Structure 1
Amino acid sequence: MDVIARVDLDRKKAVAAVVAAGALAGAGFTQAMATVTPVDRIVPVAATKDLAAAMTAQQQPEAIRTVHSLNTSSETLKLLQAEQIEVQFNVREALKSAEGAYAKRQEAVKAEQARLAAEAEARRPKCVRPAQGSFTSGFGARWGTSHNGVDIANAIGTPIVSVMDGTVVEAGPASGFGLWVRVQHEDGTITVYGHMNTIDVPQGAKVKAGQQIATIGNRGQSTGPHLHFEVWVGGSQKVNPVGWLAARGVTL
């Protein structure tokens, strides 16, 4: 065998040996892996990365979530506070509006009441007849004496009213009258009501024309139930009530 043929044979043997060795090594690795337990396969963290770095990587996202949660709560609180302020403002404005509307309604009601009162006052008679009944005796001489008023007869208890607005200056017993009431009016005139059964107003009372002040009676120097009515102009001058009432649109 020449040199070249021997070298080629040696090369083929070497290649075959390498292949055989590789096959044996592969078979051994496979068998070894088959015997490894799951615990043997766990790779420690320190074998792959720094432990502190691993812990920091795990904690960092949690810290971010916490900050985010606090920020969200703060923003929510601010929003709620803003909404509360707005609600309080709206409530105050609504109350102001309601109060303003109520005040306007009250003013309108008062104005209407004043208007109605003024109309009623304008319609109210300023002078009226002192009592209902029969005219039985006039002003002047009677039975040898002066009769300073007029008489209106009616049943006991018939209402007697003030002929005009005025103030009660006296209410009580009086000589010859039994009981009387005297009312002074704005122009100073005093009207006198006598022989009444009851007195219905106190001294000092303010009365309106047509307001009841007493009832017809038969007290004092009286010939039967009636009202004796006098008019004292200026508080002392006794005049005929018929003419005085007629001048004011009232007839007896």
Structure 2
Amino acid sequence: MPVTVPLSRSPKWDGRYRTAATRAVAVSAVVGAALSVLAAAVPSAEAQPSDPVATVAAAPHDAQFTAFTPYEAQMPQFVPPEVTDFLRNLGIEQARPKTVRPVAGPLTSGFGVRWGAMHAGIDFGDGFGTPIRAVTDGTVIEAGPASGFGLWVRIQQDDGTIGVYGHMQDILVQPGQQVRAGDDVATVGSRGYSTGPHLHYEVHISPGAPIDPLPWLAGRGMDVGTATD
């Protein structure tokens, strides 16, 4: 029969063992308490939405948010000179008249039959050499001698019609030239079949199809008065 001999431990070693065990228990208690506090302080992953939009939606309606303004947005803002020039020119273009009276003189003859013949335009009386202005924007399609008119200028106007200027003293434009309403195109004369200095002005909607310029001008906001004949 075997004999069991109890192992003997020295009092010194037994004391060290009890001290180490006590310290282990104490450390375990401290760590456990710390983990409990941390778990209570940090919400669970399910309670924290990962979507920022969801976070904002979940916030109270009276919550205060602070927006960040970039540094560039806080700097003085300047408009480039090119933009300023473009806007200024655009304003000038929009403000300028698109229809002008060709001369300042009075309307002396209207459209229709006169002295047994068709008078296909209107006449303005004015002095020799008075500048004649383009009634609309357009392109000069002819400038030179013309039977009956002495000299004439024909301009395709901005709406596709053709404006005819007759009896002038001098021509100031040439075919192909672009003109704007108010540009000088000729001077008042009395060339051709004329009894005195005046401007004869016609409007054609197509070749050989003149219309009364007065209603056409009125439709563009231009009242040139009433003929005296």
Q: For the superposition of Structure 1 and Structure 2, which TM-score range results when normalised by the shorter chain? A: 0.5 to 0.7
Q: Contact 2:136–2:158 (CA<8 Å) still a contact in 1?
A: no
Matches within 5 A, 1:1-252: 108-252=80-224
Alpha-carbon distance in 2 for matches of 1:215, 1:175 = 18
Identity %: 52
How does the TM-score come out when normalised to structure 1?
0.57
* C-alpha RMSD of matched pairs (Å): 1.6
Structure 1: stretches of 5+ with no match in the other structure: 1-104
Which structure 2 segments of 5+ residues have no match?
Answer: 1-77, 225-229
| Matches of 2:82 and 2:207, distance apart in 1 | 39
Which segments of structure 1 move beyond 4 Å, counting only runs of 4 or more? Answer: none
Q: Structure 2 length normalisation: TM-score?
A: 0.62
Contact 1:189 1:235 in 2 (8 A): no
Structure 1 position 235, deviation (Å): 4.2
Q: Secondary structure at the match of 2:80?
A: helix
Which amino acid letter does the alignment assign opposite residue 113 of structure 1? D
CA-CA distance at 1:234 after TM superposition: 3.2
Tell me which of the two structures has the higher relative contact order, counting C-alpha pairs closer than 8 angstroms and 6 or more residues apart: 2
Distance 1:176 1:151 in 2: 14
Counterpart of 2:156, as a letter, is Q
**Larger Rg, first or second structure (1 or 2):** 1
* CA deviation after TM superposition for structure 1 residue 186, in Å: 3.4
How many pairs align? Answer: 148
CA–CA separation in structure 2 for the residues paired with 1:187 and 1:132: 23
Within 1, Cα distance between the matches of 2:152 and 2:111?
A: 18
